[in-house]
Amino acid sequence: MKLPAELESFVVHFGEMGSRWGFNRTVGQMLAVIVFTEEPLNADQIAQMLSISRGNVSMGLKELQSWQLIRVHHRPGDRKDYFKPSGSIWELALQVLAERRKREVEPTLSLLRSQLMNDDPESDLFVSQKIKEIHDLLELFNTWFDDIHRMSPDNLITLLKLGSGVGRVLDIKDKISFKK
């Protein structure tokens, strides 16, 4: 099985983006192949499409499963595991955000909480204020993310469209001077 030419740029791009999302280039490319292929793929097919070793594919599939971005699909009469995305594009995006929060934001919040609880009265007031500001911002983000994560894709799209409209309204408001 060969990678279709029209997918090559997406696969390369997903590989580049994978390192920004929190996993390596090959895992990003594997995710692209799975997302952009209509039928579930087995490890041999993925290895062949990307010209990478079967062992590399095996490790990458475990990584994608740990992120809950893919799931196993079985075919009757076939003992091989096949893989497909674990949800829609919206669900995959929310899952990447959830994993990033778990791996990056939550450890930082834990450190900040610990620092705030053990705040020495003689510590630098400026530093203490900045720690509290960062803590409060991340807590606000977490609350917002919990609300976003519970929304249906349709409601999320509506919210995002509303948000862009609000930004334009605020830009216009800033340009208009009101006289009393």
pLDDT 10s digit of each residue in the chain, 180 long?
788 888 899 899 999 998 888 889 999 999 999 999 999 999 999 999 999 999 999 999 999 999 999 999 999 999 999 999 999 998 999 999 999 999 999 999 999 999 999 877 777 889 989 999 999 999 999 999 999 889 888 888 888 888 766 666 566 656 665 554
Question: 3-class SS at 59?
Answer: helix
Note whether residue 77 is domain-resident.
yes
Indicate if 42 and 101 belong to the same structural domain: no
Are 114 and 145 members of one domain? yes
Examine residue 180 and state whether it is found in any structural domain, yes or no: no
In angstroms, rounded to a whole number, what is the distance separating the alpha carbons of residues 68 and 20?
A: 17
Cα–Cα distance, 13 to 91 (Å, whole number)? 20
**Contact present, 54 and 47 (Cβ < 8 Å):** yes
> DSSP assignment, residue 178?
P
- 20 to 16, 65, 85, 112: CA distances (angstroms): 7, 18, 20, 24
Task: Tell me how far CA of residue 131 lies from CA of 8, 115, 119, 140, 180, in angstroms.
Answer: 45, 8, 10, 14, 41
For residue 40, the model assigns a pLDDT of 97
Question: What pTM does this model have?
Answer: 0.77
pLDDT of the residue at 41: 97
**What's the pLDDT at 2?**
83
pLDDT of residue 129: 92
Q: What is the pLDDT of residue 82?
A: 98
Identify the pLDDT of residue 61.
98
Are both 62 and 123 inside the same structural domain?
Answer: no
Domain extent, residue 164, equals: 89-175
> What backbone phi and psi angles, to 5 degrees, belong to 82?
-115, 155
